[in-house]
Structure 1
Amino acid sequence: MNNQQTPVQRLTDPPVEIERPQLPPVSSNMENQTVDIHETNDSSLGENTVCCLYKSLYGLKQASRQWFEKISDAIQAAGYVQSKADYSLFTRQQGKSSTFLLIYVDDILITGNDPQAISTLKAFLHNRFRIKDLGNLRFFLGIEISRSQKGIYISERKYALEIIKDAGLLGAAPMEFPMEKGLKLSNNGELLKDPSRYRRLVGRLIYLTITRPDITYSVHILSRLMHEPRKPHMEAALRILRYLKNAPGQVILISSHDDLTLRAYCDSDWAGCPITRRSTISYCVFLGSSLISWRSKRQKTFSLPSAEAEYRAMAGACFELSWLRYLLTDFGIVHPKPALLFCDNKATLHIAANPVFHERIRHIEMDCHFIRDKIQNGWVVTRHVESSHQLIDVFTKALGKESFIPMDRKLGVLDIHSPT
């Protein structure tokens, strides 16, 4: 679909009572009683008495689930199909007409190539739920969206500036890269007197990584240390804010001129955690030239040889590629060619290509061999990439300025705003 002919529109729904009966109360060891609050006001029933609600009220724990079930039933009754790859996505294909709807609680995005179908859907939703039409998409869950002839730009500039302001660093000297080269944070150092400030800051930075792959690794390291944050940890977190101060408006471009083919890069930092000696695995996925998915995560288990850690990273990237293929199929994008998966470890590539079971891989869980099935059925093709051209290093280790800045640009992270 052409970028200029498929505007994305945002709708929202006001808080309402959801007329859907609750599930029966869950029994417990206590002898709970269920009563109708319309029938009695007797306070002598005891503290173990529970009430059965006939409507799920806005703000209750169950409200979001009940609301989603209600609106899902309504949308599917209108002829839309719920995606199996993402249950919050609904699609409708009729000939050349395509309409897509994405739901997050009471925020709704609608797009497609048929303006009449979009208008019909909005009228249907308004009659059922009294929605409010917010027009073309500008903001969604704190994410800023803008469009041009080149494609769609996604950023969190306003949110980043709010974090910097709340930390009192608007006047601080900016940094050109988020973490000192080779820095390994451990359990050494003085404990913070108020750990809640650190935890809140890191929690906000985690949300910022939705559009900032350049700080993903640094924030991932800080998030490991939430239970006992120390002074060096806080200093590293504040350094990230000074880096954000340098370019708070960095964006990711989803290009409108891509060939829509999938390619991924994977890597690992073997035994990189100084506390547990577990490895960090990471991958990033491109749709054409646009970065659409990335991850940095510490393994839950130990990897004795480095090839095992690399193999687990490759398996994780393969899982993501498989899911994206299913998701893109819902948008009518079919991939006749296999996705490309790049790795810089030749031993890992041999393990993935060789179906022979031998002692070198007998300790690897079988779910990691999922990648072999995808290679054999033609969904994925592995390729070797030289370490000097490996784009994933920014997700596995703390790089210096000379390596970080070129790597950041290769990922497609752009700065379309002037520095503050």
Structure 2
Amino acid sequence: MDLPPECNSAPNKKNQVCKLRKKSLYGLKQSPMAWFGRFTKSMKNFGYTHSNSYHTLFLKRDEGKLTALIVYVDDIIVTGNDAEEQLKLQKYLSQEFEMKDLGDLKYSLKIEVARSKTGIFLSQRKYVMDLFTETGMLECKPVDTPIEMNYKLCEDMDQEPTNKEQYQRLVGR
């Protein structure tokens, strides 16, 4: 953190400190960990257990009912078969943290969520279509083996240079 200019210019203010008015500093490496520590403590105080297998998953079981909450960066997804508990949890979290309800989950982590009377369906169609559009492969036809077996890759002098950044981005996706 840099001192405001008026603090640096006054020679008689050498031993003074700046008082922070915010409760947290965004941009610090420790702030997400501190927030998650506070969030975990709040969830445990409200009766949720921390999952041993996935550290951002919290569960509450009560008489055959289950409520699950999972955190990803700054998104929280709540699900389960106890609607009353979900409402209590939402009210509790709104009192503890600044948050807003975005309604039923429709899209998260590149997965579309659709509900019907027969169940919940998960799809990555939109993600794949966006990927095809970005790469100019929207009109391509599927094949069992996209490249012939034992094909030797080599650089051709007439070949257009490969866009390294686009290739790395696609491999990451």
Q: TM-score, normalised by structure 2?
A: 0.75
Alpha carbons 1:147, 1:153 under 8 Å: kept: yes
Inter-partner Cα distance in structure 2 for 1:177 and 1:196: 27
For structure 2, list consecutive stretches of 5 or more residues without a partner in the other structure.
10-17
Aligned CA RMSD, in angstroms, stands at 3.0
Matched, 1:147 2:112: no
Q: Deviations over 1:96-130 (max 9, x none)?
A: 33211111111111112221111100001111213
**Helix, strand or coil at the partner of 2:114:** strand
State which of 147, 151, 154 in structure 2 corresponds to 1:180.
147
Matched, 1:190 2:155: yes
Residue 176 of structure 1 aligns with an amino acid whose one-letter code is: V
Alpha carbons 1:68, 1:105 under 8 Å: kept: no
Matched, 1:87 2:52: no
The residue number in structure 2 matching 1:360 is none
State which of 157, 163, 167 in structure 1 corresponds to 2:125.
157
Q: Per-residue deviation at 1:149? A: 4.6
The residue number in structure 2 matching 1:96 is 64
| Higher relative contact order, structure no. (Cα contacts within 8 Å, ≥ 6 residues apart) | 1
Q: Per-residue deviation at 1:87? A: 0.8
The residue number in structure 1 matching 2:7 is 41
The sequence identity of aligned pairs, in percent, is: 37
For structure 1, list consecutive stretches of 5 or more residues without a partner in the other structure.
1-34, 44-50, 205-420
Q: Per-residue deviation at 1:73? A: 1.6
The residue number in structure 2 matching 1:66 is 34
**Helix, strand or coil at the partner of 2:102:** strand
Alpha carbons 1:67, 1:105 under 8 Å: kept: no
Q: Per-residue deviation at 1:184? A: 6.0
Q: Per-residue deviation at 1:146? A: 1.5
Q: Per-residue deviation at 1:79? A: 1.1
Q: TM-score, normalised by structure 1?
A: 0.34
Count of equivalent residues: 158
Runs of 4+ aligned residues of structure 1 deviating over 6 Å after TM superposition are: none
Inter-partner Cα distance in structure 2 for 1:97 and 1:64: 31
Inter-partner Cα distance in structure 1 for 2:127 and 2:26: 26
The residue number in structure 1 matching 2:169 is 200
Distance change in 2, residues 1:178/1:161 (3 Å): farther
State which of 82, 93, 98 in structure 2 corresponds to 1:114.
82
Distance change in 2, residues 1:127/1:183 (3 Å): farther
The residue number in structure 2 matching 1:207 is none
The residue number in structure 2 matching 1:393 is none
Distance change in 2, residues 1:59/1:139 (3 Å): farther
Inter-partner Cα distance in structure 2 for 1:166 and 1:69: 39
